[in-house]
Structure 1
Amino acid sequence: VLIGGRETKPGPQAAKKISHLYAHWIPEERILLTNVWSSELAKLVANAMLAQRISSINSISALCERTEADIDQIAKAVGMDSRIGAKFLQTSVGFGGSCFRKDILHLSYLCEFYGLSEVAAYWENVVHMNDWQTDRFFQNILKQQFNTLAGKQIALLGFAFKADTGDTRDSPAIPLCRKLLEEKAYVRVHDPQALDNARQDLSGLGSNVDLFEDVYEALDGAHAMALVTQWEEYLELDYQRIYEKMVQPAFVFDGRNHLDHAYLHKIGF
């Protein structure tokens, strides 16, 4: 628990009283008292550094695709370094959620306001890298579909910004859908929990978007499948059945490095 207090005579006393309330269920060593600026910046910096890790590993995934390196092996090796740790080193189509982008841009604004243009640009680049990663995923779909998506059925598996939630705020699936629709594709969306929010996010984008409760229906007749959210249930799907129902040649684009690629290749993807 982080408690910020003003650096006035009553400020530390007020913060101490609040800490006594938390101490009823939080160990005292887990309660940190700071000044107001430190507490507010700490929250922004925490989210900025977590997002930075995601953008960092995503940037390395691009290099891996140009070489013979394996991003999973690199992430595992780097994560074994106790100074770094393994959390937030999973490559993806990009981060989302209500906090990361907002807090990074807030931090960047503060840096710019206080005349730290280089620092502001550094943090803005974390967001730029995230947007670039989402666009790179889209560009790969476009390239593998022979540079035309017009009239093609593209199934998106997952719309929430992460698994185990229906939250779609700033989900990379949203700009991905827009880009696909701009190329005249038909987009078929499945998500176990986020379809209601997806319906709102995609309203006004035309009639080329359909939402499906059943994942097999979403994939029936699709030219390609793009996995956007790492739902565990997507590991349990009958991919032989899916392959047989898709338009051939069938493509899988795994935006989370979530699936068994060797098995999918063996089936025919």
Structure 2
Amino acid sequence: MGNIIKKICCIGAGYVGGPTMAVIAEKCPEIEVYVVDMNAERIKKWNDDDLSKLPVFEPGLSEVISKCRNKNLFFTTELKKNLASSDMVFISVNTPTKTRGVGAGQASDLKWIEASARQIAEYAQGHTIVIEKSTLPVKTAQTIKKILMEANQDNSPLKNNLKSFSILSNPEFLAEGTAISDLKNPDRVLIGGEDDKAINALISIYKKWVNKEKIITTDLWSSELSKLVANAFLAQRISSINSISALCEKTGADIKDVSIATGTDKRIGKYFLNAGPGFGGSCFKKDISNLVYICNYYGLAEVSSYWQKVIDINSWQKRRISKIIIEKLFNTLSGKKISVLGFSFKANTNDTRESPSIDICRDLMEEGANISIYDPKVKESQVSAALNIDTFNNSLGYKNFKFASSLNDCMKDSYAVIVLTEWEEFAHLDWDQIYSMMIKPAWIFDTRSIVDKAKVDKAGFNFWRIGS
């Protein structure tokens, strides 16, 4: 086989596949990289001359795409021929939580993983290194391996063109909003596998820009579990600090001071200690749910309940914020316009998956509020889909959602402003002007601790800040 990789195919052009392959293409100009997706509309956006239309917003991504696209980086729907001619295939497809059947609400739905494995088994030629990139349950590699090996045996025409496969686990550790910098300067690159030649082939790619000391090799199962555990630990920190934010509000302490004092302990560290409306994104809830399911499967009830509590606190934090807003606005929101600043689950991304804004907005809409939402990167169609707005409005009997095209449009004649995403521009607003266009008494609810309290107090606002 050798360790020389000439062509890579990635199945899946989403938040992981697109940026990861773009950086590999930039750092390895001698390798042809093909990103394949059956969603033709998504591929069209990846190929659009207007880089603002890329389906994924990440700082620095458009520059990498502009540099490499149609040179050694290609986005296409042509799966068969690219699988047939690739030395290495990354599986980077969606693994949503099951909505029905065994494990519903906790276990990962692996239908796209299985479909990808069957496509690789059918179309790949010669020896192919197959790499799990999606976040997966432990032992998924075993499933992929079984499909690849048995499909090879059962397909008699292959006897004249024997196929062989090596399976590796190479989980991503990307934070949305900093994905490109995370890819270019990772804390670590984790590779799990049993085939030393395949492992070395993948190492040879990463060594083009990553120090060898940062490349960790393990067995397949440790690699798969490490991804779930990393996300679980990060989410745990968020739920921990959010639980303390509620205690601060009751006792008169300030969560920002507590976070700083706690984070200066080198055993703890300062990261992921910012209180907020709860964690979101595609991975945290899904991965912890998967961890809960696995623990229950192996009879570890106490471990399962421990990790379930991280999710429970996250849900409780969102409900708690909704209740505070309702109480401060005289326990009635009927017909009141409420301005929501930010709908992505965090700043510097257009990803709305599991965003705290979804549940909080729905809570307020159920109370009769007219919600006006502004986000600098999220599109109206994303918000409507996330809120399931057509079904929701039909159930209520009236429409109480508007997507604002500007900040002024969002906040004019509103009773309250809720900061739900920590976009930098929300920290530097003209609160005097905003106050003049709002219904009095006007409120600001700062769930991200980015608003200057002195300025909003001077403007005349009633002000609530999380953990204070």
Return the TM-score normalized by structure 1: 0.95
SS of equivalent to 2:218:
strand
C-alpha displacement at 1:165, in angstroms?
1.3
Per-residue deviation, 1:154: 0.8
CA-based RMSD of the aligned residues comes to: 1.2
Cα offsets for 1:105-164 (capped at 9, x unmatched): 111111111111111111111111011101111000011011111111111010000111
Tell me the residue number matched to 1:157. Answer: 341
Q: Check the 8 A contact 1:61/1:71 in 2, yes or no.
A: yes
2:193 maps to 5
1:249-264 correspondence to structure 2 within 5 Å: 249-264=441-456
Query: Hey, what's the Cα distance between the residues in 2 that align with 1:230 and 1:25?
Result: 31
Shift of residue 14 of structure 1?
3.3
- 1:23 Cα deviation (Å)? 2.3
Query: Is residue 2:459 matched to residue 1:232?
Result: no
- Which string of whole-angstrom CA distances, capped at 9 and with x for unpartnered residues, describes residues 234-263 of structure 1? 122111111111110001111111111232
Q: Which of 20, 40, 51 is the equivalent residue of 2:224?
A: 40
> Paired residue for 1:176?
360
In 2, Cα distance between the equivalents of 1:266 and 1:146?
A: 23
Structure 1: distance between partners of 2:267 and 2:401:
45
**Deviation of residue 16 (structure 1)?**
3.5
C-alpha distance 241-31 of structure 1, shift in aligned 2 (>3 A): same
Distance in 2 (alpha carbons) for counterparts of 1:258 and 1:199: 26
Matched with 2:384 is: 199
- Answer whether contact 1:4 1:38 (CA < 8 A) is retained: yes
Alpha carbons 2:239, 2:314 under 8 Å: kept: yes
Q: Which runs of 5 or more residues in structure 2 are unaligned?
A: 1-188, 394-398, 462-468
Could you say which residue in structure 2 is the equivalent of 1:31? 215
1:89 pairs with one of 273, 286, 289: 273
- The alignment status of 1:50 with 2:242, answered yes or no, reads no
Q: 1:210 aligns with which of 396, 402, 423?
A: 402
Instruction: Report whether the alignment pairs 1:140 with 2:332.
Output: no
Instruction: Provide the C-alpha distance between the structure 1 equivalents of 2:291 and 2:197, rounded to a whole number of angstroms.
Output: 29
| Kept after mapping to 1: 8 A contact 2:431/2:455 | no
Determine the C-alpha separation between the residues in 1 that align with 2:439 and 2:320: 24
The residue aligned with 2:301 is 117
Residue 46 of structure 1: how far off its partner (Å): 0.6
Structure 1 distance, partners of 2:198, 2:434, is: 61
Q: Does the residue aligned with 2:278 lie in a helix, a strand or coil? A: coil
- Higher relative CO (Cα under 8 Å, sequence separation at least 6) belongs to 1
CA contact 1:159–1:195 (8 Å) conserved in 2: no
C-alpha separation between the residues in 2 aligned to 1:208 and 1:45? 40
* Contact 1:54–1:88 (Cα < 8 Å) also in 2: yes
Query: Which residue type is aligned with residue 430 of structure 2?
Result: D
Separation in 1, partners of 2:205, 2:457: 57
Query: For 2:318 and 2:433, how far apart are their aligned partners in 1?
Result: 29
Cα displacement (A) at 1:15:
2.4
Residue 220 of structure 1 corresponds to 412
Aligned to 2:248: 64
Give distance in 2, aligned partners of 1:33 and 1:21.
14
CA deviation after TM superposition for structure 1 residue 209, in Å: 0.1
Contact 1:161 1:170 in 2 (8 A): yes
Q: Deviations over 1:199-233 (max 9, x none)?
A: 32233132210000111111110011111001111
Structure 2 SS opposite 1:179? helix
Unaligned segments of structure 1, at least 5 residues = none
Aligned residues: 265
Q: Distance in 2 between matches of 1:245 and 1:195?
A: 25
Higher Rg: 2
Structure with higher helix content: 1
CA offset at residue 13 of structure 1? 4.4
